[in-house]
Amino acid sequence: MESGWIICDPNGNVASYNPAVLKILDSPEEKLETHNIYELPEGIVDEFNIALTGELHPVAQVIRSRKPVKRFVMGQKEDNQEDILWIMVDSYPSFKDGNNGELEWVFSRVRRFTPENRIKKQLEEIKKRHQLLFENGPVAVAYAKIKFDDAGRAIDSLFLKVNKNFVKLTGVDPTGKWATEALPGIENEPFNWIQTFGEVAKTGKSVRLQNKFKSDKRWYDLVAFKSLENEIVAAFLDITETKRSHELQLRLNDQLSKRNKQLATARRKAESSDKLKSAFLSNLGHEIRTPMNGILGFADIIREGDLDKNEVLEYLDVIQGSGERMLEILQDIIEMSKLEAGMIEVKKEVFDLCYVLEHQFRFFKHQAMAKNISFHFDYLEQEIPVNSDRLKIEQIITNLLKNAIKFTENGHVTLRVLPLNGEIEILIEDSGPGISENDLKSIFRPFFQTDSGANRKYEGTGLGLSISQSLAKLLDTKITVQSNPGEGSRFTFRLPLESRGND
């Protein structure tokens, strides 16, 4: 192919050329001699048929960058014609004192460029860019041919070509190998990759998904589409760290949510506890003042004299009862404090539970009779050996029976023992006012009282049931309650039976 040459100075003026260039450019000599590349005539276009400015002329690019510009395609539109005269230009700089010196000339080689060559060049450029993207892109890419069985089911895939990132990602270069050979175990993955690629090749429908490889426990973002008959292109991106960060964020959010709920619950409990303690202190003042007033008042009456013996004894009984009531209050407070501090020890021994319950029945029978309440004891006429802390069992039953008799104005209280699958169930049932569903949720909380108003009907600190439940937990059991307003209450707890061979 005939070539011409043009030499331009650093200002873009044509300084010299050979005759061949006039023929190639189809330009008169006088027009070329006065030509400056920054002043392009109309009709000069780039390879995409877009008007070319002087700043983008290959010579101008060399002047600006001091580097060669090769295979630059440009064209000249003829007046009122659709035909374009296409040329290819290679421009090189020339310096006075080596490559670091002052630019002296720009030498350009000019050749005719046919439309077929232009298309071929564009395709070569596209192919080159595609290859650069394929080799140096951020994702792993693989071209594969799918193998189908006679039933049309994908059974394997042949790797035709892969890029460097694919080799880096998998640790192998599978080019020319079947997937089942290059990536052992791929057919046993929970997600059927080969079938998925087969569907893409068969239907032509692209697919985008995220999945985890069982073999390397890593997550991949995948897109696959059909390229040629029975062939697909698949691009993989390792998103394991992103997934792990996301999962970690979800776990942290979940933990934060749970922690916030715990804090909210703790705050509500603290607020409720403050209210209960305030109510307790208020009730405690009342509970102490009442027996104290009895003690001081009747002591003053006795001190004044003018009383017969029977009156003195009667007033002394009031003083003694008031003192016992104060002692009971103090014992509850001390017991609750010890339980909260973890200072209560469990001392187990084998004893006859029936004997303990009979003693409790006899003790409270008189209190029940004084209120005209029917008090029943249903028990087994035999020994009931248990291995537990006797004193704590007595304390639990005492608190439950005391409450049952206190809150029952008429009707009955029942103490019952029932054997159940190697355990013994102790039940205290009454026909008192019952407990509302809302109060049942708080019945075992310290200081809680169903009747805590200023005009409350029943005395008490609100610690008895809380102490009893805490003691039950120390004995590896739990007090349960069933109650409805107006239908009385039923408190139960269970103890394991001791084998008689261990007596």
In this predicted structure, the answer to whether residue 209 has a pLDDT above a threshold of 90 is no
SS in 3 state form for 358-400? Answer: HHHHHHHHHHHHHCCCEEEEECCCCCCEEEECHHHHHHHHHHH
Of the two residues 343 and 143, the one the predictor is more confident about is 143
User: Which residues lie closer than 8 Å to 324 by C-beta, 6 or more apart?
Assistant: none
What is the mean predicted confidence (pLDDT) over 325-335? 71
In this predicted structure, the answer to whether residue 328 has a pLDDT above a threshold of 90 is no
Q: Which of 204, 238, 272 is the last residue of a domain?
A: 238
For residue 140, the model assigns a pLDDT of 82
Residues 352 and 480 in one domain: yes
In this predicted structure, the answer to whether residue 334 has a pLDDT above a threshold of 90 is no
Q: Which of 238, 259, 283 is the last residue of a domain?
A: 238
What is the mean predicted confidence (pLDDT) over 4-19? 92
For residue 454, the model assigns a pLDDT of 47
Mean pLDDT of the chain: 82
260 inside domain:
yes
Pseudo-torsion of CA 55, 61, 64, 70, nearest 10°?
180
**Exposed e or buried b per residue across 366-394, where buried means at least 16 C-beta atoms within 10 angstroms of its C-beta:** eebeeeebebebebeeeebbbebbbebbe
In this predicted structure, the answer to whether residue 93 has a pLDDT above a threshold of 90 is yes
Residues 300 and 386 in one domain: no
For residue 173, the model assigns a pLDDT of 85
156 inside domain:
yes
For residue 215, the model assigns a pLDDT of 64
Other CB atoms within 10 A of residue 217 CB:
8
User: Phi and psi dihedrals of 203, rounded to 5?
Assistant: -95, -20
In this predicted structure, the answer to whether residue 118 has a pLDDT above a threshold of 80 is no
pLDDT in tens, 366-422: 889 989 999 999 877 778 899 999 988 998 999 999 999 999 998 999 999 988 888
Number of domains in the chain: 4
Q: Could you give the percent of the chain with pLDDT greater than 70?
A: 84
In this predicted structure, the answer to whether residue 307 has a pLDDT above a threshold of 70 is yes
Using pLDDT thresholds of 50, 70 and 90, give the confidence band for residue 277. Answer: low
For residue 92, the model assigns a pLDDT of 95
Distance CA 203, CA 215 (A): 28
Long-range contacts at 332-338 (CB < 8 A, ≥ 24 apart) = 332/461, 332/463, 332/464, 332/467, 333/461, 333/463, 335/463, 335/467, 336/446, 336/463, 336/466, 336/467, 336/470
Residues 189 and 153 in one domain: yes
What is the mean predicted confidence (pLDDT) over 118-129? 70
Place of tokens 């440009």: 74
Residues 286 and 385 in one domain: no
For residue 170, the model assigns a pLDDT of 76
255 inside domain:
yes
182 inside domain:
yes
For residue 106, the model assigns a pLDDT of 94
Q: Which of 298, 319, 340 is the last residue of a domain?
A: 340
Q: Could you tell me the CATH number of the domain that includes residue 225?
A: 3.30.450.20
Of the two residues 272 and 431, the one the predictor is more confident about is 431
127 inside domain:
no
Distance CA 483, CA 408 (A): 13
Identify whether the C-beta of residue 464 lies closer than 8 Å to the C-beta of residue 402. Answer: yes
Distance CA 109, CA 486 (A): 111
Q: Could you tell me the CATH number of the domain that includes residue 267?
A: 1.10.287.130
User: Which residues lie closer than 8 Å to 144 by C-beta, 6 or more apart?
Assistant: 157, 158, 159, 160, 179, 197, 231, 232, 234
Residues 497 and 369 in one domain: yes
For residue 502, the model assigns a pLDDT of 46
Residues 218 and 263 in one domain: no
- The closest of 198, 170, 199, 167 to 183, measured between CA atoms, is 170
SS in 3 state form for 413-468? Answer: EEEEEEEECCEEEEEEEECCCCCCHHHHCCCCCCCCCCCCCCCCCCCCCCCHHHHH
User: Phi and psi dihedrals of 232, rounded to 5?
Assistant: -135, 160
429 inside domain:
yes
Q: Where are the alpha helices (DSSP H) in 187-239?
A: 193-203
Does the pTM of the predicted model rise above 0.75?
no
Paired residues of 94 in beta bridges: 105
What is the mean predicted confidence (pLDDT) over 342-366? 89
Query: Which of 38-47, 85-94, 406-415, 468-477 bottoms out in mean pLDDT, i.e. has the lowest?
Result: 38-47
Q: Could you tell me the CATH number of the domain that includes residue 491?
A: 3.30.565.10
Residues 160 and 259 in one domain: no
Residues 228 and 260 in one domain: no
Q: Three-state SS for 287?
A: helix
275 inside domain:
yes
Using pLDDT thresholds of 50, 70 and 90, give the confidence band for residue 484. Answer: very high
For residue 296, the model assigns a pLDDT of 79
Q: Could you give the percent of the chain with pLDDT greater than 90?
A: 24
Other CB atoms within 10 A of residue 498 CB:
19
Domain membership of residue 269 as a residue range? 243-340
Identify whether the C-beta of residue 317 lies closer than 8 Å to the C-beta of residue 291. Answer: no
Residues 377 and 450 in one domain: yes
Residues 186 and 321 in one domain: no
Residues 85 and 16 in one domain: yes
Residues 498 and 457 in one domain: yes
For residue 461, the model assigns a pLDDT of 64
79 inside domain:
yes
Q: Three-state SS for 197?
A: helix
